[in-house]
Amino acid sequence: MKFKVIRLVHFIILAVFVYGCGQKKTEMEMAPEEDGSDWIELFNGKDFTGWKNNEDSASFKIVDGILIASGERSHLFYEGEALGEGFDHFELIAEVRTTPGSNSGIFFHTKYQDEGWPAQGFEVQVNLSHTGEGDYRELKKSGSLYNVRNAYFPLAKDGEWYETRIVVNGDFAEVWVNDVQSVSYLQLFDPNRKQSFGKGTFAIQCHDPNSKVEYKSIKVRRLALDPKMIKIRPLGPWHERMMKFATEGHFGFADLNPKYIDQEDIEDRISNGFVTGINVGFIPNEADKALAADLYKTKPIVLGQSVDVPTESASNTYTIASAGDAQIIEKLNNKKVNILSLQDSVPESKLLVLLDAAGKNGVAIEIDNVRKTPSIKTIKSAKAKGCKFSFSGISSLEEVEASQYFLDVIDQAGLGYKDFYFPERATK
């Protein structure tokens, strides 16, 4: 079957999953209509006309036509004449450049407040390499719809201008970082939801004195509400449970060894990720190198390789190995492996040696949701030896509906969000 990479521009393709007896995944096309509005440049490049700073006036400045966010926490809210009664359905494009270790954000559907982090609206993350402050580790990278649908792999590079594009229409939001789509989020019907799409203004975040983030254009246009926008019911108890870990425990979820069946299957896994919030890796074989290269250009994925089937690709960023490899200890000690997949048949004497080597070398132990391996006992031993962890078998909806082992492990083995391994995307 020929694999098709779909470049999304103004037409939105979303895999929507509706559950019930006899119901299967369906795909529908959503095309938010323009209402004829021209693009409005919110930042004039000269002064703060139309903008209102809420906490520290020194946190934002304009130099050579560029808006710079650097200083104590503060937020710059748009309150210009184009705001009217607020923006609800819109497309926004911002040109952004970050310095290493910097953090910022673009808020929408928010409103002015005198102090603190914005309590209303949603944040699109601006962060390529900021790792957190104090004991907190920040996993959410640029292009994340913060704490709603997160991207754990940087899709651009510090020091280079990149484009953040946000489209919101009805209950649907999409985000791109340059040409790579990072979010395709349909807000499911949930009467208990604390945070919902609505109407409001935009805000730019100055996060901390050690961050410096630049904006040279912030433009927006209004969209007509697409009448085809619908609400569907939640994905089920497993997803509610997973999102509780994600929002309350800061957990990131990525399937780094999806064991796809064919080319169409890996496309499904990526589409699933937009709906569920589970990021995905892709381990191509020699025959799939061209496919992998095409995927990497437009999809928010990472590429890995198997020790048994190495591939030559500059985009490969992690390596996975099976404990059945006779030279596995040597590979672990030589830091040739990032993830170790343990087989059921590994004798305990060898298992302890493997876990010791993995822990000393920062190797992640794969938690396989389908095979339900390794055991909780082994995972506890691995944690005690300093091992990291990764997930496999969580990017197929059929797999997670059949098994919540990956969530049980977090509970029963006492794992925290810092215990998991997330590879970087390769720089080209």
pLDDT at 275 over 50: yes
Spatial CB neighbours of 256, under 8 Å, sequence gap ≥ 6:
280, 281, 302, 304, 318, 320, 339, 366, 390, 391, 392, 421, 423
* Integer Cα distance of 134 and 295 in angstroms: 36
DSSP 200: B
Find the angle CA(308)-CA(423)-CA(162) to the nearest 5 degrees: 130
Work out the percent of the chain whose per-residue pLDDT is above 90: 65
Cβ atoms of residues 202 and 86 within 8 Å: no
Beta-bridge partner residues of 341: 322
Give the helix, strand, coil percentages of the chain, each rounded to 5: 20, 30, 50
Give the pLDDT band (50/70/90) at residue 189. low
Tell me what pLDDT residue 400 has: 92
Please state which of the ranges 87-101, 195-209, 309-323, 376-390 shows the lowest mean pLDDT: 309-323
Q: Give the residue from 215, 212, 226 showing the smallest Cα distance to 174.
A: 226
Work out the percent of the chain whose per-residue pLDDT is above 70: 87
* Integer Cα distance of 317 and 321 in angstroms: 14
* Integer Cα distance of 418 and 316 in angstroms: 23
Give the pLDDT band (50/70/90) at residue 232. low
Coil, helix or strand at residue 350: helix
Q: Which whole number is the average pLDDT over 87-97? A: 97
pLDDT in tens, 297-337: 889 999 999 887 777 776 788 999 998 777 889 999 988 89
pTM: 0.81
* Integer Cα distance of 77 and 239 in angstroms: 34
Euclidean distance between the first and final Cα of the chain, in Å? 29
Task: Set out the domains of the chain in order of their start, with CATH numbers.
Answer: 33-224 (2.60.120.560), 237-419 (3.20.20.140)
Please state whether beta strands 302-306 and 279-282 pair in parallel, antiparallel, or not at all (unpaired). parallel
- The total number of residues written for the chain in this structure: 428
pLDDT in tens, 149-184: 999 999 999 999 999 999 999 889 999 999 999 999
Q: Give the residue from 88, 149, 159 showing the smallest Cα distance to 124.
A: 149
Q: Where are the alpha helices (DSSP H) in 76-199?
A: none
Beta-bridge partner residues of 66: 63
Tell me the pLDDT of the chain averaged across its residues.
Answer: 86
